[in-house]
Structure 1
Amino acid sequence: MNINKFRFDQVGLNRFFGPLEAKIMDIIWTNSEMSIKEVKQQLEKEKPTNFNTVMTVMNRLVDKKILEKRVEGRMSQFKPVQSKEEFIDEQSKKLTENLLDEFGGLVVNHMLDSLQDVDQSLLERLEQKIEQLKKGKSE
């Protein structure tokens, strides 16, 4: 699944989705499979939301292959194609690959510079990964 826009000035899911899309995805990821009415009810805990707006956004998420739609009589059930963790993993990998393809060593340098204040366990995992890569290239 391709997310065409990455918003650097946003945080969390809003980097990948518009505000309503992000709220809907968060709700569905928390509840697994839901109808438009159920999602609307969850959204209305924060503010009133139009049913047709929710329906339009959810159907667009189906078109983008982020949600799957299953029709049961007159009601449709929606569920995520991937878990939230799988989605974030896939999108961050694509973003990293795109940055490396376009900017190469600059990206690696900036990533390494940003590791100064990182958790020690992350540094250890990075060292292990680098060792694995070195072994793979020498064989």
Structure 2
Amino acid sequence: MKIWKFKINESGLNRFFGPLEAKIMDILWSNDEMTIKDVQQVLDQEKSMNFNTVMTVMNRLVIKGILQKRTEGRSYLYKPVQSRVEFLSTQSKEMTYELMDEFGNVVVSHMLDALEEADDDLVAKLEHKIKELKKGM
């Protein structure tokens, strides 16, 4: 699944989703399968939310391939297709490949600049990965 709009000026899940979509995904990633009513009740704790609005957004997330739904009795249960970690990993990988395809050396240069602020473990992982790539050449 690929998110087509990445909002650079947002933070967290809002970079990938609209505000209500992000809240719904956060709720679903923090719970098991849920009905629309279950999600609406969690959202209502923060701000009164119309059932039809929640239903529309959740069904759009199904169409986008972010959520899956199944029938149980007379209710639909919704759950994310990927865990939060899997989703963020997939999206960051997609973005990295797209940036490399489009901007190549500039992206690598900026990533190296960003390493000045990275923790030592991340730098060590990068060094290890570079060694592995050189062995494969």
Q: Sort the TM-score into its range (normalised by shorter chain).
A: over 0.9
Deviation at 1:73, TM superposition (A): 2.4
* Aligned residue number for residue 17 of structure 1: 17
User: Unpaired runs of 5+ in structure 2?
Assistant: none
CA-to-aligned-CA distance 1:102-138 (integer Å, 9 cap, x gap): 000000000100111210010000000000010011x
Query: Counterparts of 2:73 and 2:120 in 1: how far apart (Å)?
Result: 53
Q: What SS does structure 1 have at the residue aligned with 2:136?
A: helix
* Aligned residue number for residue 99 of structure 1: 99
* Aligned residue number for residue 45 of structure 1: 45
* Aligned residue number for residue 87 of structure 1: 87
Superposed structure 1 runs of 4+ greater than 4 Å apart: none
* Aligned residue number for residue 30 of structure 1: 30
Contact 1:62 1:69 in 2 (8 A): yes
Query: Counterparts of 1:136 and 1:54 in 2: how far apart (Å)?
Result: 50
Q: How many residues align?
A: 137
Query: Counterparts of 1:115 and 1:136 in 2: how far apart (Å)?
Result: 24
* Aligned residue number for residue 134 of structure 2: 134
TM-score normalised per structure 1: 0.97
Deviation at 1:32, TM superposition (A): 2.2
Deviation at 1:84, TM superposition (A): 0.3
Letter in 1 for 2:105: G
Contact 1:68 1:78 in 2 (8 A): yes
Letter in 2 for 1:2: K
* Aligned residue number for residue 8 of structure 1: 8
CA-to-aligned-CA distance 1:6-28 (integer Å, 9 cap, x gap): 00000010000000000000000
Query: Counterparts of 2:19 and 2:74 in 1: how far apart (Å)?
Result: 28
TM-score normalised per structure 2: 0.98
Query: Counterparts of 1:132 and 1:8 in 2: how far apart (Å)?
Result: 32
Q: What SS does structure 1 have at the residue aligned with 2:88?
A: helix
Counting aligned pairs with the same residue, the percent is 62
Alpha-carbon RMSD across the aligned residues, in angstroms, is: 0.6
